Structure 1
């Protein structure tokens, strides 16, 4: 990260939230959840849950969501379980708490929640949840994915994504630009294939001419006399 954390006293909520968004987009190969998109502190309705960070990842079929709740104090963590959306269910196919190292212990977690510790250098250390098994055996990791999975509040997640798209701009305009770029890409690829074909044909013609010349054998020039003048003929 661009900032360094100085331990439990120096880790601010904003710092950890920014780190959570970055972690959500971390690929599987780096022990991350591999989300395609991730955002911080977006509303999921006119009232109700506002996750500190949430990411979405495409899967086949469907998609999953990952919520990270940031806690920098014990009081905040203990109060979290009393929130209405925690009791009712809430957002996130997978859910994690992120906190300064040692602030929350694994045995204090609600059922099926993961835990991410952040040390003084800003490094994320998964302590519970599927991420804690990401560098182990694949079958163990997939078992943990099943064990920690929640039924997310899809209505609120949809509301959040629609509101985000509306605030960013016109999705159809972006879609048209994307299609135009794809058409241009395909045109360039087709032109490139034509050039490659012409190159291969020229190389084949060159090889053919070389074979014909080898069949003719060496050409020895000879001198012929015509009258009093000497001419060189082949």
Structure 2
């Protein structure tokens, strides 16, 4: 959801997403506030919902590269940096651990989580979203299909990880990286063998 008021006089998040899987460590909401100027970033800290309460179990600023220094962030806030090509990189927050070890990611998710979340305003946003959904049953079917597809992909990643001799629950990023390194090694050995075969044939 984006640019939707969280109540009659509530804050208007630039973007917020919700996750509910039944796993408390990662369930919650992620708030993203986009800043394109230094003045806007500094003024944001003075808002009442930044001082106490507010929405978002995890909160991030998103800004162009160099606009916000991680050392200038309010306590508990993360930073998403956007470079000239539009690529987003997490510089602070639990998202920086997403591609690492799963247990460390869960630990960081707990450390970066806001506990004083204004749940009533988040509920207001969810009700607004539901009102604009259309047919809830159709959405439910789509979610089930997406979850089933995610489960199949997870199982496929685990099979590949096992075939590569990687530990259980290795992230898809690590699986891809290991597979890429293995492919490069095979290509290197193949090229080396081809050169050796050519030399043997040349010298009889």
TM over 0.5: yes
Deviation at 1:138, TM superposition (A): 2.4
Number of aligned residue pairs: give it. 141
- In the TM superposition, what are the counterparts of 1:1-234 in structure 2 within 5 Å? 39-61=1-23, 63-151=27-115, 152-169=117-134, 171=136, 174=138, 178=141
Q: Which runs of 4+ in 1 moved over 4 A?
A: none
Cα distance in 2 for partners of 1:42, 1:55 equals 12
Higher strand share: 1
TM-score by length of structure 2 reads 0.63
> For residue 33 of structure 1, what is the aligned residue in structure 2?
none
- Secondary structure at the aligned position of 1:168 is classed as coil
CA root-mean-square deviation: 2.3
> Partner residue of 1:189?
none
- 5+ residue gaps, structure 2, are 146-204
Q: Larger helix proportion, structure 1 or 2?
A: 2
Structure number with greater Rg is 1
Q: Look up the SS of the partner of 2:10 in the other structure.
A: coil
SS of match in other structure, 2:67? coil
Q: Deviations over 1:117-168 (max 9, x none)?
A: 0001100010000111112222322221111001221100110110122233
**TM-score (ref. length: structure 1):** 0.55
Query: Where does the alignment leave 5 or more consecutive residues of structure 1 unmatched?
Result: 1-38, 183-234
User: 2-side partners of 1:174 and 1:136: how far apart?
Assistant: 35
Whole-angstrom CA distance in 2 between matches of 1:71 and 1:147: 24
